[in-house]
Amino acid sequence: MKARRRRRAGAVIAAAGVAVGAVVGGVPQAAVAQGVQWQDCAEPEAPTLQCAMLEVPLDHARPDGRTVKIAINRLPATAPEDQRQGPVLLNPGGPGISGLWMASYIPSQLPPDVAAAYDWIGFDLRGSQHSEPRMSCDPHYFDGPRPDFQVSQGTTETWLAKAAGYVRNCTEKHAELLPHLSTVDHVRDMDAIRRALGAEKINFFGWSYGTTLGSTYAQLYPSRVRRFVLDSIVGPSIPWYDHNVLQDLQHEKRFKAFAAWVARADGVYHLGTDPDDVEDKWYAMRTSLRAHPVGRIGPDEFDDTQVAGGYNILRWPRLATVLSAYTNSKDTAPLVTAYERYAAPDPTDDSFDLYNAVQCSDSKWPRDFRFWKKDQAKVNEKAPFYTYNNMWFNAACLTWPVKAGNRTRIDGRGLPPMLLFQATDDPATPYEGGVDMARALPGARLVVERGGGSHAITFAGNRCLDDTLVAYLRDGTLPANRGLVDRTCDKLPDPDPVWVAAAPAVAATQGAERPDPAPLVR
């Protein structure tokens, strides 16, 4: 999953809580919660937000060994005691994106009675962001302009060396930590948070990779599950390599959908009325940037900027403006603005490091580049927009030092009904994943946004989706069981084709772009 994005955590972590050990399911676990030593986060925008650090075993099979610290925060419930519904653990995806911002953001999007009923718990995964220790393998790995992703440009050996050097850095700096960063390790930490909170059960809300965390927790701890919401779903059993291939194919469809939308708006963008012509102009701009980068923006950085449009359709007007301004008048200002907004790396953001640590160890990857070269060439024939960008983003898994296992099998036994959301045209977590999860969780209810092509679809303005979510959080109400898909919601209208003149706002007729609630999933 693509974890290269930035999010203000909204909290400074400054306290500690510790738990001690017993045995659960054959694995030594911390069983006696000593509580969490909450402190004021000193967050002006959320004055009641509390922060803490939770100490957990590095290796949950050795609870008396070395420990690490998990950064957590809480927006406490304010409803009367008899109306409170317990803690909700929150995760935005990544893996590796900070979840601390969610504790104040999510309740702000809900009706007051629902927001007041829960303790909203944000947390950063072990090894990431505000947790300790924090991974940092190569803060400048994505500095641009980078060597062109396209193998036709003779950059294969350069990228192989670049990826291998990155892995060496990770190994030298974090050798003791790397074997303990799988999804199961993070799920064990989630249960440590539950114990520290003194809760018998937890609720959960997760986007994207968060759906993997939530479903894995549910599988390992079914008796501790209350209300779980999974939005934009990673398939429950697909290896990460295969998941990335599905993404390549779906991103190609979204790029073509963008080109068709631009072609219908020739009166605004003046790029022609034929989608193929629009695509040709986009690739021509990419070629031009190879020869003449704009500052740190070369073809790879242009790719990254455009890929962002696959995750949020409200970005299309800005991206169309980028292409039109460059093509028709060689104006690069919109490109610079879009890149800085959507794709510029932040050297203080370590989410790419944890992304690799999780994905490279969660499931087996091909270790022979000859296989990648042959297989990815076949995929590229069908999906040239994204395939090689995605391949090199994941190249660390070729030489990752941790032996990979298999993803936890999800079967849904012993679980209460869960609520699933999936858009049919989501490129980051393709539709197949939502369908497969619904099959794996027979008691769940699947809500589908028909024709929706954005990622992380709740709290994006679709009342049909959000009303379903609110009803479930309020009192457990679920759509009626109608088979595989239990409720279908129409997608929101496409954005108006407007010229985006300046950062940071879009044209007033369209409204501001919604803040990203989830990372760009690779």
Residues of the chain above pLDDT 70, percent: 89
The secondary element (H helix, E strand) that includes residue 446 is strand 445-450
> And the tokens for 102?
């969610």
Compute the average pLDDT of residues 303-322.
Answer: 97
| Ramachandran angles phi, psi of 184, nearest 5° | -65, -40
The reported pLDDT for the residue numbered 20 is: 33
7-11, 344-348, 471-475: range with lowest mean pLDDT: 7-11
Asked if residue 430 has pLDDT above 50, the reply is yes
As a whole number of angstroms, the distance between CA 299 and CA 521 comes to 20
- CA–CA distance from 424 to each of 11, 28, 89, 253, 431 (Å)? 35, 41, 26, 12, 5
> And the tokens for 489?
């919601």
User: How many domains does the structure of the chain reveal?
Assistant: 2
DSSP symbol at 134:
B
- β-pair partners for 57: 67
How much is the pTM? 0.92
Residue 3 lies in a domain: no
As a whole number of angstroms, the distance between CA 370 and CA 376 comes to 10
Residue 9 lies in a domain: no
> And the tokens for 94?
């990544």
216-230, 392-406, 490-504: range with lowest mean pLDDT: 490-504
110-119, 257-266, 342-351: range with lowest mean pLDDT: 342-351
Compute the average pLDDT of residues 136-161.
Answer: 97
| One domain, residues 387 and 478 | no
Alpha-helix runs per DSSP H in 33-129: 102-108, 112-116
Compute the average pLDDT of residues 26-32.
Answer: 38
**Is the bond preceding 133 in cis, omega lying within 30 degrees of 0?**
yes
The reported pLDDT for the residue numbered 302 is: 98
| One domain, residues 221 and 356 | no
Asked if residue 501 has pLDDT above 90, the reply is no
| Active site annotation includes 292 | no
| Active site annotation includes 455 | yes
| One domain, residues 279 and 346 | yes
Residue 84 lies in a domain: yes
The catalytic position among 124, 455, 466, 516 is 455
Residue 55 lies in a domain: yes
pLDDT band at 35 (very low <50, low <70, confident <90, very high): confident
Asked if residue 509 has pLDDT above 60, the reply is no
16-20, 118-122, 260-264, 326-330: range with lowest mean pLDDT: 16-20
| One domain, residues 331 and 456 | no
Q: What is the CA radius of gyration of the chain?
A: 22
CB 23: neighbour CB atoms within 10 A? 10
| Active site annotation includes 174 | no
As a whole number of angstroms, the distance between CA 463 and CA 262 comes to 27
The CATH number of whichever domain residue 97 belongs to comes to 3.40.50.1820
Residue 314 lies in a domain: yes
Asked if residue 314 has pLDDT above 90, the reply is yes
| One domain, residues 154 and 111 | no
pLDDT band at 102 (very low <50, low <70, confident <90, very high): very high
The reported pLDDT for the residue numbered 34 is: 57
| One domain, residues 352 and 466 | no
| One domain, residues 251 and 304 | yes
The catalytic position among 208, 215, 324, 351 is 208
322's CB contacts (< 8 A; 6+ apart) are: 305, 334, 335, 338
The reported pLDDT for the residue numbered 21 is: 38
Rounded to the nearest integer, the mean pLDDT of the chain is 91
Asked if residue 18 has pLDDT above 70, the reply is no
| One domain, residues 355 and 479 | no
Compute the average pLDDT of residues 352-379.
Answer: 97
Asked if residue 364 has pLDDT above 50, the reply is yes
Residue 91 lies in a domain: yes
The reported pLDDT for the residue numbered 31 is: 37
| One domain, residues 68 and 117 | yes
Beta 16-24 vs 39-40: how paired, if at all? Answer: unpaired
| One domain, residues 438 and 517 | no
| One domain, residues 320 and 263 | yes
Asked if residue 370 has pLDDT above 50, the reply is yes
Structural domain harbouring 95: 16-132+202-237+409-490
The secondary element (H helix, E strand) that includes residue 220 is helix 209-220
Residue 197 lies in a domain: no
Residues of the chain above pLDDT 90, percent: 88
The reported pLDDT for the residue numbered 70 is: 97
Asked if residue 519 has pLDDT above 50, the reply is no
Asked if residue 90 has pLDDT above 70, the reply is yes
The reported pLDDT for the residue numbered 502 is: 63
204's CB contacts (< 8 A; 6+ apart) are: 88, 89, 90, 91, 213, 214, 217, 225, 227, 228, 229
The catalytic position among 191, 350, 426, 516 is 426
Asked if residue 2 has pLDDT above 90, the reply is no
Residue 445 lies in a domain: yes
| One domain, residues 25 and 99 | yes
Asked if residue 277 has pLDDT above 50, the reply is yes
